Structure formats: C-alpha cells, structure tokens
Amino acid sequence: MIKSYRLPAPWGSLRFVEQDGEFDRLIPELEPVQSPDSAPEEMCRWMDLAGSLLEHPHVLSSVDRRHLFSLNRMRSLSAFARSVLREVTFLEPGEILSYAQIAERIGEPAAARSVGRALAANPFPILIACHRVAPARAIGAMSVLRPETLMPEAYLGDKAKKGIGAWLRIHDLSDLP
C-alpha cells in the first residue's frame, strides 16, 4: 500500500511517500501546503530531518546515513547509484563538486555522465543533497554576486523544478557561519 504525507517547503512542499510501511521516496513539489500532514512516527522522523536540513543545511549524521541506506528503495538501486548517492551525503553545505569529481571519488573516473543520471534519479533529495553537484562548466561560472548562476539546468532531471535547486544552493551558502 502506498501513502504519502506533505510538509511545507519554501518553494511549495515536500511529499514523503511510504510504501508497505517504509519510507520510499521524497518528492519536492511546487504546489504549496499550509501545514504538515499527520503521519506515522517513522515518517514524522524523516519529515523532521528534512525540515531541519531546510532550516539549517548540514551533513547527515552517520546514524541517519546508515538508516537511509538500509531502506528498500536504496537497496534496490545499483551499486554504482548507491555509491554516488553515499558520496554526496558527505558534501558540506556550500561545497559544490562536479560530476567528474564525484566519479573520481567513487573510483569511476570515466563515469561523470552516469553520476549525473544517478543524481537525477535520487529518491531522497534534500536528505541526499544532489544540489551540491553540478557540471564543471557551471561551477566555474557560479557566483553569489550573481544568484542566477546558481540555477541548475534542471533539478532531479526536471527543468520545471530548477528553481528548487537554486533555492537549495543559495540557502546552503546563506546559512554558512
């Protein structure tokens, strides 16, 4: 059985999808919601974590990382996709690496395009901060003095949601000490 619960977000909302009683995916949506939906305790924990990451960007704790990667959805991904997503969980707020740099870090230096595809299919955005990875040519042009340069071409493979990726990048930078 599939159920979902929504949480307000600055750009609209976050939809937390539960399948057969387990957190299955997180979907950023542009449609606003005024208050969080009532949810089971386990889903509330994920909703609280995402809310805390939106309020003050940070790296996932080792406990949260372990719990996230033990979910069925994560175990169903290829070993390559899991390694990409795991590596991204270590990126600090304000740190933006290229697809090629992530590929090198996971020991697959020729797999930059595959890194991009794995990030576009990220089932847990916000929790896994895929907005901290970008094409090398885009990173070179990024400037906080020109916020438009922080806008990705797409967010999670969706051009309509690229403003969400820009908001996340700007928020990462604005929350730095």
pLDDT in tens, 104-145: 999 999 999 999 999 999 999 999 999 999 999 999 999 988
Nearest Cα neighbor of 121 from 151, 92, 80 is: 80
Report pLDDT for 126.
97
Listed by start position, the domains of the chain span 2-174
Residue 17 confidence (pLDDT) above 80:
yes
Average pLDDT of the chain to the nearest whole number: 96
Task: For the chain, give the percent of residues with pLDDT over 90.
Answer: 95
Alpha-carbon torsion (166, 168, 171, 175), positive or negative: negative
CA distance linking residue 74 with residue 43, whole number of Å? 16
Confidence of residue 174 (pLDDT cuts 50, 70, 90): confident
Q: What per-residue confidence (pLDDT) applies to 34?
A: 96
The catalytic position among 130, 134, 156, 164 is 130
Is 176 a residue whose pLDDT tops 80?
A: no
Question: Which residue, 83, 162, 160, 151, is CA-closest to 115?
Answer: 83
Q: Cite the DSSP H helix spans in the chain.
A: 41-55, 62-69, 72-75, 79-88, 99-105, 112-120, 136-141, 162-174
pLDDT of residue 1: 94
Q: Is 130 among the residues known to form the active site?
A: yes
Tell which CATH architecture fits domain 2-174. Answer: Orthogonal Bundle (1.10)
Over the stretch 19-62, which tens digit does the pLDDT of each residue have? 999 999 999 999 999 999 999 999 999 999 999 999 999 999 99
- Give the burial class of 7: count Cβ atoms within 10 A of its Cβ; 0-12 exposed, 13-18 middle, 19 or more buried: buried
